[in-house]
Structure 1
Amino acid sequence: MSTEFEAAGAHFGNPLVEQRSLAAGEAVVELPDRSVVTVTGPDRLSWLDSLTSQSIASLQPGESAETLLLDPTGRLEHAMRVVDDGETTWLLVDGPEGAPLAAWLDRMRFMLRVEVADRSAEFLTVGAFEGSAAVELTERFASAPNGVPLVWADPWREVVVGGHQYSTATEHPAADWTYREVLVARGTDLSSLPHAGTLALEALRVAAWRPRLSTEVDERSIPHELDWLRSAVHLSKGCYRGQETIAKVHNLGHPPRRLVLLHLDGSESPVPPPAGSPVLLDGAEVGRVTSPALHAELGPIALAVVKRSVDPAAALVVGGEVPVAASQEVIVPTDAGAEANVPRLPKLGRVARPAS
């Protein structure tokens, strides 16, 4: 990786042009802040399967998956992009997750035949979309220590087996989402490939409604709020940590908050408000911006997490030095959950009287 790319990772002069090149598969984006954790040993897949939300016990070499580590109450702790090469399971995670995830997994090994290692210092994560740049990146530079190129293909573009989508959109914006991440050895010279910056990738991710742990998640988040059952949860795989909350909210309850896409008024400035900006309804805070972006076609947009009760048609304002008007595009509907269709029982004490 060249010094020029390290210094200017957000963009290289024109984020909107880079965004179009990246989406067309004609550029790659280096993600030096991402982490890599490996699990080796014959019990690795069944062990990870028992701990996390996705069914990965039968993952084949080269196949990709996404899985979540929840706390006992179902709240999100880690999100893992998973690829196995037949000997090692590779967990690609956002930068701050690497060391804590490796430490937690190491404590949970007990007598199982698994070994955990943080390999972040050895491998660089590079993102790309289906196209010529991705092909060249994979064929020339992808690491393959066990003979299988380390390429993770994002399953977000469709609902995975065992998953569930709350969005009722006729055409989900991720239908053409062909994003993948490739692991290469750190220090590899990738300057021969066209590059886009991280701003370009973020704009495309936001437009595809794609949640990310380091941006959309706080200490209260559960997967239902972000429509993350779509790609990272298997609803019938059996027990794992936090599974009771997953089932209870999905079958009987409703998530307390919901992810929305905000279309922002760019008449004053095309620059969207920063992450963390309050989302207001009639002056009262009802949520927070999680991921702002400037999209080449949609203009200023943002993902935000708001209270479930917020009317999807309500006119919102994003607060800050200059308040910005915002309209919602529904991702998670207000009635998401309660999928079990449990029949309503008569109230206790009411006894039907026979007709006289």
Structure 2
Amino acid sequence: MSDTPLVAPSPLLSSPGAVPPLDGSPDAGVAWHHGDPFAEQRAAIRSAAVIDRSHRFVIAISGEERLTWLHTISSQHVAALPDRTSTENLSLDLNGRVEHHFVMTDIDGVTWIDTEADRGPDLLGFLQKMVFWSKAEPRDGNEMALLSLLGPDVASSAIVQALGVAALPGMYEAVPLDGGGFVRRMPWPTADSFDLLVPRTDLPAWWSRLVDAGARPAGTWAFEALRVAAHRPRIGLDTDDRTIPHEAGWIGGPAEHGAVHLDKGCYRGQETVARVHNLGKPPRHLVMLHLDGSAEGRPEVGEALTAGGRAVGRVGTVVDHFEEGPIALALVKRSVPADTELAAGPCAAAIDADSIPRHDDFQAGRAAVDKLRGRE
């Protein structure tokens, strides 16, 4: 871990009704909820909610070669990323295991990256070490802070007017905001998800403006519950040091809402990505679990998921959802059937069958091998 300090606690934690997270939470520094976490989740689905995610670590990259340089050291196809466009991206190790997941937006000559608070310093350090002779200048960009707006009523005239934009952006597009920053549209955790990157000094003013326009204050509990229900992993919680992109569902370009483009040049970890895509299948995959709500306690992140006393997976994010009850994400061995009786810590657990990824895509490499072996 780098010695670079992490993001400072949000000033919004002092807002009326803001409840801080429990000790040890990865979301330290921002509100866990604002008094009624289930109502906050409902608002994010049915009306509008604003969530303080200013604990995200922000990196700014300037320089005329920033995109072509980043293209060579990451998994997404970003060399020709259009201005005012966003995408998701990964940094992999030499063996194709995921080290960093980040969202990036290129706007008006600067690429803005946001990632997990505890991983941001390491990502920044890696980027700075990889510049060499390229015309790219990565730096700490934490003068900017992230808010998320969720819900169909984000499109209401009152909120659009509060944002000061002519119209909301399309998927992964970004629109500049008066006074600095931008608003972008994301494909998750809900069908109506928008991120604002705004000057950190203006965070309280933006919060008040959006709440006054009709967005309900919500905490990270709401965001996490909807993220789990959308089957979207969070690095470090739903992944471990062995996770490859295929296991977490990160394969695909921007059109597929993925973070690994399968049609691009060489980058670190590409051999593993190509081999699994063309010849094999991932040993594990990400699924959603339904947990027994009557159990005393909940499983911990990283705890083994077992079947008949045998470890078959790893538990990730655990959260209470306003409709689904207690749910979790888990990396599970691909061979485990959906109807397997499972245990996650003190809870009985069941795989949500609809969350199981399909692995029956055509594999050109495997087809060629089968042809050579006379298995057409």
TM-score norm. by structure 2 comes to 0.79
Q: Deviations over 1:180-234 (max 9, x none)?
A: 3211222321234131010011000000001121321211010100111141111
Return the alpha-carbon distance in structure 1 between the equivalents of residues 175 and 315 of structure 2: 36
CA spacing shift, 1:244–1:338, aligned 2, 3 Å: farther
Kept after mapping to 1: 8 A contact 2:68/2:79? yes
Return the alpha-carbon distance in structure 2 between the equivalents of residues 290 and 235 of structure 1: 27
Structure with more relative contact order (C-alpha pairs < 8 Å, separation 6 or more): 1
| Bigger shift: residues 98-107 or 202-211 | 98-107
Return the alpha-carbon distance in structure 1 between the equivalents of residues 235 and 271 of structure 2: 21
Query: Secondary structure of 1:11's partner?
Result: coil
CA spacing shift, 1:221–1:136, aligned 2, 3 Å: farther
Counterpart for residue 246 of structure 1: 273
Query: Secondary structure of 2:319's partner?
Result: strand
CA spacing shift, 1:296–1:137, aligned 2, 3 Å: farther
Counterpart for residue 317 of structure 2: 291
Counting aligned pairs with the same residue, the percent is 39
Describe how 1:61-210 pairs up with structure 2 within 5 A. Answer: 61-120=83-142, 122-133=143-154, 135=160, 138-139=163-164, 144=176, 149-155=181-187, 177-188=191-202, 189=204, 190-192=207-209, 193=211, 194-210=216-232
Greater C-alpha Rg: 1
CA spacing shift, 1:136–1:216, aligned 2, 3 Å: farther
Query: Secondary structure of 1:187's partner?
Result: helix
Q: Deviations over 1:19-40 (max 9, x none)?
A: 1112235111001321100110
Aligned length: 325
Counterpart for residue 32 of structure 1: 54
Kept after mapping to 2: 8 A contact 1:226/1:258? yes
TM-score norm. by structure 1 comes to 0.83
Kept after mapping to 2: 8 A contact 1:249/1:337? no
RMSD: 2.7
Query: Displacement, 1:41?
Result: 0.5
Q: Deviations over 1:273-303 (max 9, x none)?
A: 3322321100112112101111111111110
Return the alpha-carbon distance in structure 1 between the equivalents of residues 57 and 76 of structure 2: 20
Q: Partner letter of residue 145 of structure 2?
A: L
Describe how 1:323-338 pairs up with structure 2 within 5 A. Answer: 323-329=347-353, 331-333=355-357, 335=359
Return the alpha-carbon distance in structure 1 between the equivalents of residues 47 and 163 of structure 2: 13
Kept after mapping to 1: 8 A contact 2:291/2:347? no
Q: Deviations over 1:105-130 (max 9, x none)?
A: 1111111111110112x121111225
Do structure 1's residue 2 and structure 2's residue 12 form an aligned pair? yes
Q: Deviations over 1:78-120 (max 9, x none)?
A: 1110111131000111111221111111111111111110112
Kept after mapping to 2: 8 A contact 1:263/1:300? yes
Ranges in structure 1 where 5+ consecutive residues have no aligned partner: 157-173, 349-356
Query: Displacement, 1:326?
Result: 2.6
Return the alpha-carbon distance in structure 2 between the equivalents of residues 212 and 138 of structure 1: 28
Kept after mapping to 2: 8 A contact 1:105/1:116? yes
Ranges in structure 2 where 5+ consecutive residues have no aligned partner: 1-10, 21-30, 166-173, 253-257
Counterpart for residue 363 of structure 2: 339
CA spacing shift, 1:137–1:60, aligned 2, 3 Å: farther
Match of 2:326 among 278, 287, 300: 300
Return the alpha-carbon distance in structure 2 between the equivalents of residues 332 and 68 of structure 1: 22
Kept after mapping to 2: 8 A contact 1:62/1:150? no
Do structure 1's residue 22 and structure 2's residue 35 form an aligned pair? no
Query: Secondary structure of 2:267's partner?
Result: coil
Kept after mapping to 1: 8 A contact 2:288/2:330? yes
Kept after mapping to 1: 8 A contact 2:175/2:184? no
Describe how 1:28-67 pairs up with structure 2 within 5 A. Answer: 28-67=50-89
Match of 1:310 among 333, 336, 354: 336
Return the alpha-carbon distance in structure 2 between the equivalents of residues 66 and 197 of structure 1: 23
Q: Deviations over 1:293-315 (max 9, x none)?
A: 11111111110111222122211
Match of 2:291 among 243, 255, 264: 264
Q: Partner letter of residue 124 of structure 1?
A: A
Q: Partner letter of residue 316 of structure 1?
A: L
